[in-house]
Amino acid sequence: MSYRKELRVAELAVQRAALLTQRVFHEKAKGTLSKDDKSPVTIGDFGAQALIIHAIRRSFPTDEIVGEEEASSLRENKALADQIWRLVNSTKLEDEAAEEQVGGPIKSQREMLQAIDEGQSPGGSRGRIWALDPIDGTMGFLRGGQYAVCLALIVDGHIKVGVLACPNLPVDDSTPLSADVANDSGEGRGVLFSAVLGSGATSRSLSRGALEKSQSIHMKDVPNITHAIFCESVEAGHSSHSDQADIAKKLGITRQSVRMDSQAKYGSIARGAGDLYLRLPVRADYEEKIWDHAAGDLIVREAGGHVTDVEGRRLDFSLGRTLKENKGVIAAPKAVHEHVLDAVRSVLDSK
Ligand SMILES: Nc1ncnc2c1ncn2[C@@H]1O[C@H](COP(=O)(O)OS(=O)(=O)O)[C@@H](OP(=O)(O)O)[C@H]1O
Ligand SMILES: [Mg+2]
């Protein structure tokens, strides 16, 4: 299957949702709530989820969706629901045909809340399931850093399509990786990464999204691992900075890591702006959600990389809403992945 329609709808839906998040990004008050697990959620998360689910429902009504958010807190908070509705209701793609392909506008606030709640699939190894993280790296989003709007189609447990919008990454694939978003107007920023299984990975400017021609992206060769640029999470609670530093040292890497939030890390290494992404668990009992990795996993693999856990196994997206166990993520170009994994094993064995 070519998954052409799925790719088109996913790209346009993610592009429209990213427009909404960009508006919230520039506002001081982001309508932030705290979820049961204490992680933050903003009006941007809810609005982006509504728009993307609306688009998927229109084109693929029988598909399931595993989404990060649900609307119960909004049903109890009319002011917040109104605020999200104003945003959702006024975010459109400029191109009319494109807007039509993502289902046109949502008709009412009620329909919006319903759409948000349609991301409750339990996931699993059968059927067509979309994994949606409307804002990955919400902490980065709040801090003024990197974040990503992420969508992937998983069919019978295998990722077929992955799309990532990274509104704060430079458009130019060759810009050296850096953590800062600079205090600029956002000009020259905003990338849309996409991949279809077996067809390679691409990038293009987010501002015109799927209406613009894309270019192929590839991971960089790493002739000398000691010069590799590795990226990791900003939050020390999300991955172990100390284990990652030990692994880098073991590999002879002297350069400081680049810390950035969200799946922007996967996109960045896929286009060769960085080389490695290390995500060593801090707590083994924290369950990593599939939506935090699905699109990035495919984009890196299609760009010539391997993505595994610390035991060298591919991430397993077939089990439900979470990955099998939290065994971390090691993403690297194929040619050096085994070498990196040896360093990971040696560091972890010594603990
Ligand atoms: N304890 C713990 N361990 C591992 N991962 C966790 C943990 N807590 C949260 N999360 C998830 O991390 C997602 C953001 O990951 P990042 O790599 O972007 O981290 S960070 O934002 O740089 O800190 C973040 O995604 P969003 O919730 O979509 O923002 C969380 O799903
Ligand atoms: Mg999120």
Q: What is the pLDDT of residue 183?
A: 59
Q: What is the DSSP letter of 47?
A: H
Percent residues over pLDDT 70 in the chain: 99
Mutate which of 238, 260, 282, 288 to test ligand 1's pocket (most atoms within 8 Å of Cβ)?
238
pLDDT in tens, 67-114: 999 999 999 999 999 999 999 999 999 999 999 999 999 999 999 999
**Alpha carbon distance 291, 16 (integer Å):** 19
Question: Angle at CA 73, nearest 5°, toward 67 and 79?
Answer: 120
Q: Is the predicted pLDDT of residue 224 greater than 90, yes or no?
A: yes
**Alpha carbon distance 337, 335 (integer Å):** 6
Residues at CB less than 6 angstroms from ligand 1: 39, 68, 133, 135-140, 233-235, 237-238, 261-262, 282-283, 286, 288-289, 292
Q: What is the pLDDT of residue 251?
A: 98
Which single residue is written with the structure tokens 């996109």?
Answer: 267
Catalytic residue ranges: 45, 138
Q: Is 180 annotated as a binding residue?
A: no
Q: Is 63 annotated as a binding residue?
A: no
Residue having the nearest C-alpha atom to atom 2 of ligand 1: 238
The answer to whether 43 and 80 have CB atoms below 8 angstroms apart is: yes
The answer to whether 244 and 234 have CB atoms below 8 angstroms apart is: no
Percent residues over pLDDT 90 in the chain: 89
pLDDT in tens, 120-141: 999 999 999 999 999 999 999 9
Instruction: Tally the residues of the chain.
Output: 351
ipTM greater than cut 0.90 = yes
pLDDT in tens, 27-53: 888 888 888 887 889 999 999 999 999
Q: What is the mean pLDDT of residues 172-194?
A: 84
The answer to whether 170 and 188 have CB atoms below 8 angstroms apart is: yes
Q: What is the mean pLDDT of residues 234-249?
A: 97
Closest alpha carbon to 308 in 277, 265, 286: 277
**Alpha carbon distance 330, 327 (integer Å):** 10
**Exposed, middle or buried by CB within 10 Å (0-12, 13-18, 19+), for 193?**
buried
Residue having the nearest C-alpha atom to atom 8 of ligand 1: 238
Query: How remote is the CA of residue 134 from the centroid of ligand 2, in Å?
Result: 6
Q: What is the pLDDT of residue 27?
A: 86
Give me the phi and psi of 75, to 5 degrees please: -65, -25
Q: Which ligand 1 atom minimizes the distance to the CA of 237? A: 1
The answer to whether 8 and 101 have CB atoms below 8 angstroms apart is: yes
**Alpha carbon distance 211, 11 (integer Å):** 10
Alpha helices by DSSP H, listed for 60-157, are: 72-75, 78-89, 96-101, 109-116, 138-143
Give me the domains of the chain, ranges plus CATH numbers. 4-217 (3.30.540.10), 225-349 (3.40.190.80)
Q: What is the mean pLDDT of residues 210-225?
A: 95
pLDDT in tens, 142-182: 999 999 999 999 999 999 999 999 999 999 999 988 877 76
**Alpha carbon distance 242, 108 (integer Å):** 49
Q: What is the pLDDT of residue 266?
A: 98
Q: What is the pLDDT of residue 1?
A: 79
Q: What is the pLDDT of residue 184?
A: 65
**Distance set, CA 199 to CA 174, 215, 217, 312 (Å):** 22, 12, 11, 24
Q: What is the pLDDT of residue 170?
A: 95
pLDDT in tens, 260-312: 999 999 999 999 999 999 999 999 899 999 999 999 999 999 999 999 999 99
State the pLDDT confidence band at 210, using cuts at 50, 70 and 90.
Answer: confident
**Exposed, middle or buried by CB within 10 Å (0-12, 13-18, 19+), for 123?**
buried
**Alpha carbon distance 3, 160 (integer Å):** 8
Question: Angle at CA 84, nearest 5°, toward 81 and 85?
Answer: 85
Q: What is the mean pLDDT of residues 312-338?
A: 96
Residue having the nearest C-alpha atom to atom 7 of ligand 1: 238
State the pLDDT confidence band at 327, using cuts at 50, 70 and 90.
Answer: very high
* Mean pLDDT computed over every residue of the chain: 95
Q: Is the predicted pLDDT of residue 198 greater than 90, yes or no?
A: yes
Mutate which of 52, 235, 286, 309 to test ligand 1's pocket (most atoms within 8 Å of Cβ)?
235
Q: For 81-96, give one letter per residue: b (16+ CB within 10 A) or e.
A: bebbbebbeebbbeee
Q: What is the pLDDT of residue 49?
A: 98
Summary count for the chain: helices (H), strands (E):
11, 14
